[in-house]
């Protein structure tokens, strides 16, 4: 209660003095409090900084640094120093608060469970990408009220995308790519009104894309590729009017491509929907996306024609419509795409001829027309494409001659499986950069030019299935040290084993089958082709014996010498050193790879090797899996002698064909060691003895032929053998019995020793009888035809009779 002025006047003097003193004291107290408040206010930032430092240091204590070294950003985090300015990866604002935490690719392993998000109210950027963080993304990440950028990509985070992220209303960039998060896309992300970049690539998302995301009107970058998303692409995405780059590739999305996307996205530059299941046609409205530079719709189920409106996209640099079901012609308007660098139209049903306007695309580097129904002659305007690096016109119906190629930069050229005529195009001899050339399965003819061997960088050459004739040229300026795969099969080539191969030190595949090559395999083959894995010489006129030097081909996994005129025994030791056949192959395929830069990206061109193999009594073309095939085919020759016992050491063999030779002796006893063997043919030889019981161990055997030999005894019994119930596989072996032939007689032995003993007894009896008969007739014939012999014999008989009678009389 306050005193009135009158009361103040009536107070005693002493009381007034006390009151004055009290006022002074009160004033001092207020001044002290004011100073204290100011002091406390000045000390506040230091305290909050310490809280943030403690929170980071506590989190650090739960982590492991897998790449432990002094260069790790976390090695500078020490309680003895301030985070601002001293701790690597930490940035502060003007008020001394931590505003950015950036420690990408620091080898950090652990979780986010101990990270106190509430301690960082000023944190605007958090980048922990490229580490080894595991566990879930905590829901309390939503406590980072100032967060504008969150990058947790390339970790091992799981547990889905927390819906709480939708409360970070200031978030402009959310990057979670390359984590096994799983789950669905939370619809709450649609609340991020200022979000510009959303990257959820390869986070194992399932379900459909929420239509609500169409409300993200500020979004300019969206990457949902490499997930398991299904359903349709929401038409509501048309609301993302700022969209520039869309990545939805490698999902299971279906339905039609909404045309309104192209009319509502005037700024879009990249549109990637490849490897999905979209149907319908390419919308003509695509012409409205005037700034489009990259368009990839490969590997969907699109139908219809390529719209002529696509020619309006004059800024287009990359166009991939391959692996769909598009039909009709290539529109002439394609020639308007003057900036196009890559055009892939492969594996569709495109028909008609290639428009000559294609020659107007002067910047084109990659042109892929493979696998269509295109016909007619290739336009001569292709020679105007001076920057071509890759050209693939394979698997069409092209006719005429291969046009001149104007690009001196060409790395890869493929014209396989068409009806091209004429001789070998010498235009290729002038392209020094050429690495991959495939002219197989055409109607090319004539002799091969010497200039073919001037191509220094040639890695892959396939001239098979044509009508080339004459000898393989032996001259050439190149050392051919790059050549890895050479296919000359099914032509009319003659001469001996090509001497030019002596230069091919890196050769892996050599296919010269189905020609008229003659003479012998040269002994240098083993030493000069040390990397050879596939050697196919079948159906030629080669003769002589197999040189033992082939045993030096330790990488050899497919040896096919069938249907030639080889003779003599299979060399001892040949099979002992084929180490690649002694174990299963794990490499899936063999490819020839060429790299070059396209649109600032590393483009890879590859040719997968293919080989024709007589497999399970049929001919198959192995492509892509040839590296898994291990086998030997020596059938249709005149090999003699026994089957080498070291054959059983080749435990990686999947097929073995020794049929139609003159091999003798026994089947190796340890044939059962070839556990992976699927096909065995030893028919039409002179093999004898019993079938080894170990053959029943061949659990993978599905094709067997031992007919037309001299085998005997009981056929072994085994689970897999019982499935081979065709009697013809044992035909014309008179001594065989047992399933699937007639049952062996009771008491008969299936062992070779018993059978051999019985045969020896029969032969002995027959020989005695024959000796007696022959001896009797020789003795009788001498008496009849030689008088002197007859007189002498009769005289001897008379003397013997006289002596006997004389002794008999004396005895009496």
What gap in Å lies between CA 163 and CA 161, rounded to an integer?
A: 6
> Is residue 676 within 8 Å of 698, Cβ to Cβ?
no
pLDDT tens by residue, 290-314: 999 999 999 999 999 999 999 999 9
Pairing of the two strands 125-127 and 460-462: unpaired
Structure-token pair, residue 377: 């002659």
DSSP string across 395-432: SSEE-SPPPPP--S---EEE--SS---SS--GGGGG-T
Q: pLDDT class for 11, splitting at 50, 70, 90? A: very low
How does the average pLDDT of the chain come out, rounded?
Answer: 87
pLDDT at 808: 60
Residue recorded with tokens 């909050």: 48
Q: pLDDT class for 79, splitting at 50, 70, 90? A: confident
Which whole-number Å values give the CA distances from 692 to 647, 680, 698, 711, in the listed order?
14, 14, 12, 10
Structure-token pair, residue 268: 């879009």
pLDDT at 591: 58
What gap in Å lies between CA 310 and CA 333, rounded to an integer?
A: 7
Q: pLDDT class for 1, splitting at 50, 70, 90? A: very low
Asked whether the predicted pLDDT for residue 179 surpasses 60, the reply is yes
> Is residue 733 within 8 Å of 706, Cβ to Cβ?
yes
Asked whether the predicted pLDDT for residue 7 surpasses 50, the reply is no
Report the C-alpha dihedral over residues 264, 268, 270, 273, rounded to 10 degrees: -10
**Nearest in space to 529 (alpha carbons), one of 503, 547, 511, 499:** 503
pLDDT at 27: 40
Which whole-number Å values give the CA distances from 554 to 324, 508, 559, 581, 598, in the listed order?
43, 12, 12, 9, 39
Q: pLDDT class for 39, splitting at 50, 70, 90? A: very low
* Range of 354-368, 471-485, 582-596, 794-808 with top mean pLDDT: 354-368
What gap in Å lies between CA 752 and CA 754, rounded to an integer?
A: 6
Asked whether the predicted pLDDT for residue 372 surpasses 90, the reply is yes
> Is residue 321 within 8 Å of 282, Cβ to Cβ?
yes
610: Cα within 13 Å, side-chain hemisphere: 17
pLDDT at 29: 40
In 510-592, alpha helices (H): 525-528
pLDDT at 772: 78
DSSP string across 101-143: EE-TTS-EEE-STT--GGG-TT--EEE-TTSEEEEE--GGGGG
What gap in Å lies between CA 574 and CA 549, rounded to an integer?
A: 8
pLDDT at 32: 39
pLDDT at 620: 64
**Nearest in space to 96 (alpha carbons), one of 45, 137, 155:** 45
pLDDT at 572: 79
pLDDT at 387: 95
**Nearest in space to 369 (alpha carbons), one of 330, 335, 400:** 330
pLDDT at 603: 61
Q: How many helices (H) and strands (E) does the chain have?
A: 7, 52
The more confidently predicted of residues 761 and 332 is: 332
Share of the chain above pLDDT 90, in %: 70
pTM, full prediction:
0.81
pLDDT tens by residue, 216-263: 999 999 999 999 999 999 999 999 999 999 999 999 999 999 999 999
The answer, yes or no, to whether the previous bond of 740 is cis (omega within 30 of 0) is: yes
pLDDT at 577: 85
Q: pLDDT class for 172, splitting at 50, 70, 90? A: very high
What gap in Å lies between CA 392 and CA 382, rounded to an integer?
A: 12
* Alpha-carbon Rg for the chain in angstroms: 44
Instruction: State mean pLDDT over 135-146.
Output: 96
Share of the chain above pLDDT 70, in %: 83
Close Cβ partners of 128 (under 8 Å, ≥ 6 residues apart)? 101, 103, 104, 108, 151, 152, 155
Q: What are phi and psi of 467, to 5 degrees?
A: -120, 30
Neighbours of 774 (CB within 10 A): 10
Which whole-number Å values give the CA distances from 126 to 81, 174, 181, 606, in the listed order?
21, 10, 18, 41
pLDDT at 610: 72
Residue recorded with tokens 């040639």: 458
pLDDT tens by residue, 704-719: 999 999 999 999 998 8
Close Cβ partners of 798 (under 8 Å, ≥ 6 residues apart)? none
Instruction: State mean pLDDT over 490-514.
Output: 94
**Nearest in space to 705 (alpha carbons), one of 660, 640, 770:** 660
Q: What are phi and psi of 695, to 5 degrees?
A: -65, -20
> Is residue 544 within 8 Å of 566, Cβ to Cβ?
yes
Q: Bridge partners of 569?
A: 640
> Is residue 637 within 8 Å of 565, Cβ to Cβ?
yes
pLDDT at 231: 97
**Nearest in space to 139 (alpha carbons), one of 113, 119, 100:** 113
pLDDT at 28: 39
Q: pLDDT class for 462, splitting at 50, 70, 90? A: very high
Instruction: State mean pLDDT over 633-651.
Output: 94
- The torsion region of residue 747 among left (phi > 0), alpha (psi -120 to 50) and beta comes to left
Q: pLDDT class for 512, splitting at 50, 70, 90? A: very high
Instruction: State mean pLDDT over 514-542.
Output: 93
The more confidently predicted of residues 111 and 746 is: 111
Instruction: State mean pLDDT over 532-561.
Output: 93
**Nearest in space to 342 (alpha carbons), one of 324, 371, 322, 372:** 322
For the ranges 23-27, 54-58, 180-184, 776-780, the lowest mean pLDDT is seen at 23-27
pLDDT tens by residue, 85-125: 889 999 999 999 999 999 999 999 999 999 999 999 999 99
pLDDT at 747: 54
> Is residue 723 within 8 Å of 701, Cβ to Cβ?
no
What gap in Å lies between CA 94 and CA 69, rounded to an integer?
A: 32
Instruction: Give the number of residues written for the chain.
Output: 812
Q: pLDDT class for 154, splitting at 50, 70, 90? A: very high
Residue recorded with tokens 């004459």: 470
- Angle at the Cα of 296 (from 293 to 300), degrees rounded to 5? 160
Q: What angle do the packed helices 787-811 and 752-785 form, to 10 degrees? A: 100
pLDDT at 4: 35
What gap in Å lies between CA 225 and CA 234, rounded to an integer?
A: 16
Instruction: State mean pLDDT over 478-491.
Output: 90
What gap in Å lies between CA 650 and CA 583, rounded to an integer?
A: 7
The DSSP H or E segment spanning 714 is strand 710-714
pLDDT at 576: 82
Q: Bridge partners of 598?
A: 601
């Amino acid at each position: 209660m306050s005193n009135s002025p009158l009361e103040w006047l009536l107070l005693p003097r002493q009381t007034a003095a006390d009151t004055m003193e009290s006022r002074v004291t009160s004033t001092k107290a207020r001044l002290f409090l004011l100073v204290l408040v100011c002091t406390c206010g000045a000390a506040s930032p230091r305290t909050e900084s310490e809280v943030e430092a403690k929170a980071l240091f506590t989190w650090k204590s739960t982590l492991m640094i897998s790449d432990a070294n002094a260069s790790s950003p976390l090695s500078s985090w020490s309680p003895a120093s301030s985070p601002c300015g001293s701790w690597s990866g930490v940035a502060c604002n003007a008020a001394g608060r931590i505003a950015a935490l950036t420690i990408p690719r620091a080898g950090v392993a652990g979780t986010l469970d101990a990270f106190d998000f509430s301690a960082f109210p000023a944190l605007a950027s958090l980048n922990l990408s490229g580490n080894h963080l595991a566990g879930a993304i905590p829901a309390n990440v939503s406590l980072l009220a100032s967060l504008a950028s969150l990058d947790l990509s390339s970790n091992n985070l799981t547990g889905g995308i927390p819906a709480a992220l939708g409360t970070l209303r200031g978030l402009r960039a959310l990057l979670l790519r390359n984590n096994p998060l799983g789950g669905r896309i939370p619809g709450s992300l649609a609340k991020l009104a200022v979000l510009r970049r959303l990257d959820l690539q390869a986070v194992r998302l399932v379900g459909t894309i929420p239509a609500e995301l169409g409300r993200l009107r500020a979004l300019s970058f969206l990457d949902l590729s490499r997930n398991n998303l299904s359903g349709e692409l929401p038409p509501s995405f048309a609301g993302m009017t700022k969209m520039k780059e869309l990545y939805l590739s490698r999902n299971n999305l279906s339905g039609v491509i909404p045309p309104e996307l192209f009319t509502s996205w005037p700024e879009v530059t990249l549109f990637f929907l490849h490897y999905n299941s979209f149907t319908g046609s390419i919308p003509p409205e695509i012409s409205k996306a005037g700034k489009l530079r990259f368009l990839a719709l490969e590997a969907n189920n699109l139908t219809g024609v390529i719209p002529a409106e696509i020619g309006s996209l004059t800024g287009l640099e990359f166009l991939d419509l391959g692996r769909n079901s598009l039909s009709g012609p290539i529109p002439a308007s394609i020639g308007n795409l003057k900036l196009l660098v890559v055009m892939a139209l492969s594996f569709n049903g495109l028909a008609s001829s290639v428009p000559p306007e294609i020659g107007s695309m002067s910047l084109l580097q990659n042109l892929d027309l493979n696998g269509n129904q295109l016909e007619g002659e290739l336009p001569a305007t292709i020679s105007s494409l001076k920057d071509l690096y890759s050209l693939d016109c394979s698997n069409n119906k092209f006719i005429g001659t291969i046009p001149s190629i104007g690009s001196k930069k060409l790395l890869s050229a493929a014209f396989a499986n068409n009806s091209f005529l004429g001789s070998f195009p010498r235009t290729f001899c002038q392209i020094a950069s050429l690495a991959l050339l495939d002219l197989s399965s055409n109607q090319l003819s004539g002799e091969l030019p010497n200039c073919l061997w001037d191509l220094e960088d040639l890695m892959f050459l396939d001239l098979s299935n044509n009508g080339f004739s004459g000898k393989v040229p032996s001259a050439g300026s190149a050392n051919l040290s790059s050549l890895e795969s050479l296919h000359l099969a099914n032509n009319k080539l003659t001469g001996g084993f090509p001497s030019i191969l002596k230069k091919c030190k890196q050769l892996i595949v050599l296919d010269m089958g189905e020609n008229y090559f003659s003479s012998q395999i040269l002994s240098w083959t083993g030493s000069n082709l040390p990397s050879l894995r596939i050697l196919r010489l079948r159906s030629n006129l080669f003769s002589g014996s197999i040189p033992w030097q082939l045993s030096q081909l330790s990488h050899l996994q497919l040896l096919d010498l069938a249907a030639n005129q080889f003779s003599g025994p299979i060399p001892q030791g040949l099979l002992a050193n084929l180490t690649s056949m002694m174990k299963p192959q794990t490499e899936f395929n063999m490819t020839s790879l060429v790299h070059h830069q396209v649109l600032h990206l590393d483009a890879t061109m590859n040719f997968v090797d293919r080989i024709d193999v007589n497999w399970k009594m049929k001919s198959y073309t192995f492509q892509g899996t040839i590296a898994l095939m291990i086998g030997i085919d020596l059938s249709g020759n005149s090999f003699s002698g026994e089957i080498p016992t070291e054959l059983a050491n080749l435990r990686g063999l999947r097929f073995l064909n020794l049929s139609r030779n003159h091999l003798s002796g026994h089947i190796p006893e340890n044939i059962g060691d070839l556990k992976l063997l699927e096909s065995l043919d030893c028919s039409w030889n002179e093999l004898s003895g019993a079938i080894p019981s170990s053959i029943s161990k061949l659990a993978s055997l599905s094709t067997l032929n031992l007919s037309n030999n001299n085998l005997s005894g009981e056929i072994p019994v085994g689970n897999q053998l019982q499935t081979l119930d065709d009697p013809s596989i044992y035909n014309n072996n008179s001594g065989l019995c047992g399933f699937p032939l007639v049952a062996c007689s009771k008491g008969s032995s299936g062992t070779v020793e018993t059978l051999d003993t019985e045969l020896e007894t029969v032969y002995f009896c027959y020989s005695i009888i024959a000796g007696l008969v022959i001896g009797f007739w020789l003795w009788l014939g001498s008496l009849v035809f030689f008088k002197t012999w007859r007189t002498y014999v009769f005289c001897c008989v008379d003397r013997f009779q006289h002596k006997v009678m004389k002794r008999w009389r004396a005895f009496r």
